[in-house]
Structure 1
């Protein structure tokens, strides 16, 4: 059944807006080429989008050209301001951008374990308000938040977890109360990192891959056929609970101790470094385990560093092989502060081991977005949500 005229107009408008977002300002003639629409159809959509305040004339395509076809049209980027938050156990990072993703202000603040739930929430909310003010944002249209916890796939809310500070759950509600006109959404940090790597990072050429996150905790994000997979309860990727050989016990429903977490999380990696005789002085705000991996990779070559990296690659490959045997993703991205510190050196060692352990060909890549992956993912989801609403046809 052919689309109705109103549906066809809505589809054409969204297509034009996406092109303007991806390509930058375009002339009507260039829009005609890229969309395949007729000249009258392009003229109509330009008139509609201009009247709605979504696009505006931002220049001309050449000094010698004149007339309507020479006008450059671009998205009115300040139609909406967006905020992205990366919420960690020990603090918060915030940035504010426009509709095109141009960052106007950003800041981070530590939040100590002894702050208390109320003061911790107030610190985080005040940071968001301060960054928004510095960015010149009178109000925030959409706020995207990344957290180290499980998200209920039905409600979209952060689930209760004894392993996370109480202020994490309170923060989402507090932001919605303080910013009643903003659309506030929350997502697992590993999932956001995967979305960012898929859109702008190491997995740009892959529609199926797994991102493994190594930090204070361990997690995985699964992208199959271009879509993020969450599972029935939102727990896809909880590989810290994966039973593996080499631990002193088995994990339980409430404790990942004895699972893959006990082999490859930050605490276990620090212990492994000590066994191998690797030491390091952390940089400012650098986690100790990440500093140890960085020193082994970038420092002076030594038998101790080789032993440490080989043993670490053995551990990472053990968990990765289990994921690969079930999903066959073809590509694994190593992320989190440990994956970032290990870079291509660790990735190559893991890939070599997987080639021996599994018949399924798998490329192992290091994250190319590093510590910005979660914030980038939170911003991308905020932009998508804002654009879905703003670019929707008038009813």
Structure 2
């Protein structure tokens, strides 16, 4: 394994609500090593960054002379982030990270520049460069897992909006009198299709389940789990129809844990999209399964690190 094509290692970090995945790649963005570590859902930022830094240091030592070879880091969190200030910004998801300047703190850990982004944006970037959105000028990556998020692609680039919060489809209000969301609003999409809602809806009939249990049982033919997943697909399809009406994308790629249910979720999603979107817009959008699976965000993180590395080279 060599570090040819350009100056050291690229590093990627992608946090989920319950885990962190790290990877190191060469200058050609070929991943040389990666590792996934579970985390407590209520962990704090210092703990998460220290673990990520330690994992990256270990991986760097296995493929090169050590952490000093890391030239840039792409860093993803499953929450709104301010890419300009480098701060995480949510009391609802990973509240232990709220207000932390991740860019500065992680740079201090590893002595390398850090590009901070939302993991849905990173997954969109990964699919755009190496997966189901290749060649797409205007499209969307839909992350359907413990919550729902989206990464938007406009004119061949990931669109982040003025404050870095573009794509927060999980917090689109679909019922203003609905349940209170963890963001403080009522009736957000997440309150109907997020993991808490799905697990709660099956508690009386199935007892305690994990989200992946629901997917596995649905694929095995469990009628209750199938119904819950199909209903979730329909609700997301209604929200996605709004995205289709607004942006008229060529393709929507669906990834995340619930996407592993395949046609059980994609079928109802497509049906609702066709029913609720403008016919001409619905007719021209292709619904595709993600190609990179649960590695989409880490692949995107490596590409983000590569972009940052080249920017630093051009400036110096």
Sort the TM-score into its range (normalised by shorter chain): 0.7 to 0.9
Map of 1:227 onto structure 2: 157
Moved more, 347-356 or 234-243: 347-356
Map of 2:268 onto structure 1: 349
Map of 1:263 onto structure 2: 192
Map of 1:213 onto structure 2: 143
In structure 2, distance between residues paired with 1:117 and 1:250: 26
Tell me how far 1:199 sits from its aligned partner. 1.3
Point out where structure 1 has 5 or more consecutive residues left out of the alignment.
Answer: 1-74, 282-287
Q: TM-score, normalised by structure 2?
A: 0.84
Q: TM-score, normalised by structure 1?
A: 0.69
- Correspondence 1:189 to 2:112: no
Change (3 A) 1:317 1:235: same
Q: 1:333 aligns with which of 234, 246, 253?
A: 253
In structure 2, distance between residues paired with 1:344 and 1:307: 13
SS in 1 for 2:88: coil
Q: 2:78 aligns with which of 148, 155, 162?
A: 148
Point out where structure 2 has 5 or more consecutive residues left out of the alignment.
Answer: none
Map of 2:90 onto structure 1: 161
Map of 2:107 onto structure 1: 176
SS in 2 for 1:77: coil
Map of 1:364 onto structure 2: 287
In structure 1, distance between residues paired with 2:273 and 2:124: 21
Equivalent residue runs for 1:1-395 within 5 Å: 76-77=4-5, 79-113=7-41, 118-138=46-66, 139=68, 140-153=70-83, 155-163=84-92, 164-167=94-97, 169=100, 172-180=103-111, 182-245=112-175, 248-249=178-179, 254-274=183-203, 288-297=210-219, 299=220, 301=221, 303-339=223-259, 341-358=260-277, 359=279, 360=281, 361=283, 362-390=285-313, 392=314
Contact 1:202–1:365 (8 Å) recurs in 2 = yes
Q: Deviations over 1:177-226 (max 9, x none)?
A: 1322x121111100010111111111113211122222222211111221
Q: Deviations over 1:89-127 (max 9, x none)?
A: 323211111101232322222232566554444333222
| Count of residues in Structure 1 that have an aligned counterpart in Structure 2 | 307
In structure 1, distance between residues paired with 2:89 and 2:254: 27
Change (3 A) 1:113 1:293: closer
In structure 1, distance between residues paired with 2:176 and 2:45: 37
Change (3 A) 1:256 1:332: farther
SS in 2 for 1:141: strand
Change (3 A) 1:159 1:370: same
Change (3 A) 1:353 1:324: same
Compare relative contact order (CA 8 Å, sep 6+) and give the higher one, 1 or 2. Answer: 2
Contact 1:351–1:363 (8 Å) recurs in 2 = no
In structure 2, distance between residues paired with 1:115 and 1:354: 37
Alignment RMSD (CA, Å): 3.0
SS in 1 for 2:82: coil
Change (3 A) 1:217 1:256: farther
Change (3 A) 1:325 1:250: farther
